[in-house]
Amino acid sequence: MSDNAIEINRLQYIIRETLKDKNLSNNIFSKQLLDLDELANNSTIGELEVELKLEKVSFEFRQSWLQYASKISSKYFRSPFYADSISLPNSKDIKYDYERVANTRSLDNRCMEHSKELRKWETDCTFFANGMSSIHIVLSQLFIYIRNNGTDIPKVSVAKGSYFETIALFRFLRRQGGFEVDYLEYENILNNISSGTTDIVFLEPVLCDLVQTVLDFNLLVEAIKNRDSSKLLFVIIDTSIVGSSFEMEFILNQIDTQENIVFIDVLSGLKLFQEGLEFTNVGFTKIYTLKGKYIRTLQKTSKNSIFKRSASDIKKQFGRLRKVYGVGLSLEQFHILDAMWFLNPDTSKKYMNTIHENNLFVAQELAKANGIFKDVFHPGLSTLSQLDWAKSPSVVLTFNEDDDNEENMELLKKIILFEIKKANITLYWGTSFGFRHHRFEIINFSNQAYESEKERHIVRLPIGYRKGYSLKYTLKIFLKIANHKTFLELKNNYINDI
């Protein structure tokens, strides 16, 4: 089966699986399904033309679903009548007094239905307006737990190279005086865990630093085994970049004799979980506590009661803070995310795997070039490429210091845009990752955890889900550019085109 045929089949499946009522799905998305049937049955259309039509159909599907969700959610006030039951496209009706305090039980239950049951660990999950709000709520609640256990200022160890907005949040919290935050190399974080000198650890399986550093969680397991388990420890892992290629069980199954430890998986569900169509922001967390060894927290009341906190208890606390901060889901978000394929691990894993495969392929090919790009960075090219989570939805290209200037970067951007226009492929100038199409951007990069680090330009190449002509031609464009020895040579070769 051709690459285009595979994408046609997948898009047909996703559209039909959006609604449980297949007749309704066929009605709402009738035009897109008809267009896909025609593409599937027409063998005379060229490969690129099929890709362009697939891009158009996917955009139209996105628009149709957003319009439908808006239409049915607009029937209700933000503060509905008490007699109202709010209808969702697929799940049971929900009720709430105010939209901003609505619980996310329908999505929580679906998340749990699709989660692996762990013999020794209790798991629970819940949802927030976006990925950053999920991290903020988690940290706010952990602050309460740690303070109530007798620590005035919780100590947080954050991996240098974490996502720039996460670093910005930690800086804000540190300036408020609530947390003592250290941005550390991974080795130093492991030492803090072993020595019991940190309360919270924040990690990413693959860091958002220049080189896309892969963290070896085998070392994390050893550090946890060596710690004093009488001290409370929270381990937060942001898996937004790697998606399902990292499974928390890898760690949990090796440390199931520990006590006073909680694992929390935080992630943005906007990118890799929505078929590359960015329907809506959403963040979610999964909480893991050992069965029968729930963490003990002191509730500072007149009686100073001690509570045992399980995953479900912690989730309830997150839910309370979600209401106070007003970072729950809007009714429109509830409707959009009620698509039947959302959170289905079989569906999402295939999508993520294809994106990760495509990025590795491009990285490996570009690494063979010897020209204006100094380095090609991708986890699959690192010394830890054998780890399951050594994946990334983008490739990073760097420059020699003498070439790193605004004039060269503007030249490079014009050349890439010229080649895209000439080829008419589904490659766009834009940021972020995880789309069906491909993107590129040239940005000024600096690691915010290093206060004095010099900014430098990089090309960030987020390769999307689509294989076939556009993928091959995207690689062709960048290989053509990469094989120029100097920017002067590059300029001379395009002097009549840009």
* Averaged pLDDT for residues 245-261: 94
Q: What is the mean pLDDT of residues 279-292?
A: 96
16: number of Cβ within 10 Å: 15
Mean pLDDT of the chain: 93
* The pLDDT of residue 447: 61
CB 273, CB 342: distance < 8 Å: yes
- Provide the pLDDT confidence category of residue 302 given band limits of 50, 70 and 90: very low
Greater model confidence, 94 or 410: 410
Q: How many CB atoms lie within 10 A of CB 296?
A: 14
How far is it, in rounded angstroms, from Cα 493 to Cα 471? 24
Closest CA to 482 of 332, 350, 375, 347: 375
Nearest to 325 by CA among 156, 140, 127: 140
Instruction: Find, among 115, 94, 114, the residue nearest to 104 by Cα.
Output: 94
Q: Is the pLDDT at 355 greater than 80, yes or no?
A: yes
Lowest mean pLDDT among 22-26, 67-71, 267-271, 339-343: 22-26
Task: Name the nearest CA neighbour of 328 among 97, 66, 99.
Answer: 99
pTM: 0.95
Confidence of residue 306 (pLDDT cuts 50, 70, 90): low
In this prediction, residue 332 carries a pLDDT of 96
Is pLDDT at 148 greater than 90 in this prediction?
no
Backbone phi and psi for residue 83, each to the nearest 5 degrees, phi listed first: -80, -10
Three-state DSSP state, 108:
helix
Closest listed residue to residue 336, CA positions, set 99, 112, 71: 71
Torsion of Cα atoms, 40 then 45 then 46 then 51, to 10°: -50
Contact assessment for residue 65 and residue 87, using Cβ atoms and an 8 Å cutoff: no
CA nearest neighbour of 201 among 176, 165, 238 = 238
pLDDT at position 456 is 92
Contact 402, 438 (CB under 8 A): no
Give me the half-sphere count of Cα atoms (radius 13 Å) on the Cβ side of residue 401. Answer: 2
Q: Specify the pLDDT at position 338.
A: 95
Q: What are phi and psi of 374, to 5 degrees?
A: -70, -50
Residues near 456 by Cβ (< 8 Å), separated by ≥ 6?
210, 398, 399, 401, 404, 444, 445, 446
Contact between 465 and 355 under an 8 Å Cβ cutoff? The reply is yes
What does the pLDDT read at residue 292?
Answer: 85
How far from chain centre, in Å, is Cα 322? 20
pLDDT digits (tens, 9 = 90+) for 45-90: 999 999 999 999 999 999 999 999 999 999 999 999 998 889 899 9
Q: Single out the residue of 110, 82, 83, 106 nearest to residue 94, CA to CA.
A: 106
- For residues 21 and 432, the model is more confident at 432
What does the alpha-carbon distance between residue 203 and residue 236 come to, in Å, rounded to a whole number?
A: 6
The whole-number average pLDDT for the span 112-121 is 91
pLDDT one-digit tens code per residue, 180-211: 999 999 999 999 999 999 999 999 999 999 99
Helical segments of 97-253, H only: 105-113, 131-148, 164-176, 186-195, 217-226, 249-252
Site of tokens 């990025």: 359
Structure tokens given for 237: 């892992």
* pLDDT, tens digit (0-9, with 9 covering 90-100), for 428-472: 999 999 999 999 999 998 765 445 467 899 999 999 999 999 999
pLDDT of residue 364: 98
> What CA dihedral angle connects 101, 105, 108 and 113, to 10 degrees?
-170
Percentage above 70 pLDDT, the chain? 96
pLDDT at 152: 85
pLDDT at 112 > cutoff 50: yes
